[in-house]
Amino acid sequence: MDLDSIALLGIDVGFSKSRPTTGIAWSKNGEFGSARTHSNWERRSRHIPAATTFSVIAIDGPLVPVGTDDSLDRLCERLFIRGAFQTRCKPGLSHIGYGRDLRRAAAETANQVVHLADRDVLTEKPIRSGASIVEAFPNAFLGVLLPESRFATLAAGKRKKFDWLYEHAVDSGILYNLFHTIGWLNLELIDAVLAETDHEKRAAWICLLTAACAATGKSEIVGDEIGGWFWLPPTNLWAQWARDALAHNTTELRRQRHAG
């Protein structure tokens, strides 16, 4: 698939009422753009190409099936909060505390953009009926690609951790390699992503890459029908520690559920 020939959209959910904490990145017909903006649709829509439907839309925020109870404990999150993932790229739990606010904000974002989804293009495991909207998880998207040796120097808070992961993904060459693996050879886009320094725009670019992986059918999809899915890079690019950690956590969760 020629990724430059389709339209893709990535959104980093931010829900501050006063600050521009949303990141948006898009690609269409070889052109692309990114922006930092606010949470309301009026201002978000200014940074999305008009009259465009997108083959895949990736949103950084917990996306659950419509009607899911706020208290649902998601399998995809449980798989990434334990073991080696815990200190490297774990998610927050979206059924408690601040996580519930983020889950609601992600649902609102999906509602804002569902009309932009190309109804003729559907990914597997859709979270919204008839729309290719997928969940991006930028920390894990980058984290699973980094070799274990890189984490020896990790000492960062939650917000700074993503920027640490991004910078190491650029420095190590894995982000550049991902573009080539999925066949996205738009050199201007690659240069823009590798040079990005803005936190929200960085997250939006990774959402856009998540959409690209989904569009090419090369994503590793982790989760279940009940709680939704993380869409991650193809497993052949994962570091061995990440493959081992996911396999171990999957086995442990199954054992615990059978024992319970």
**Single pTM value for the model:** 0.96
To the nearest 10°, report the CA torsion of 151, 182, 231, 144.
Answer: -10
Can you tell me which residue has the tokens 């399998």? Answer: 75
Contact (Cβ atoms closer than 8 angstroms) between residue 37 and residue 20: yes
* Mean pLDDT on 111-139: 93
Contact (Cβ atoms closer than 8 angstroms) between residue 208 and residue 27: yes
CB atoms < 10 A from the CB of 236, how many? Answer: 9
Q: In the predicted model, is pLDDT for residue 260 greater than 80?
A: no
Q: In the predicted model, is pLDDT for residue 158 greater than 60?
A: no
Q: Locate all alpha helices (DSSP H) within the chain, ordered by sequence.
A: 41-44, 75-79, 85-88, 98-113, 138-143, 158-172, 174-181, 187-195, 199-216, 240-259
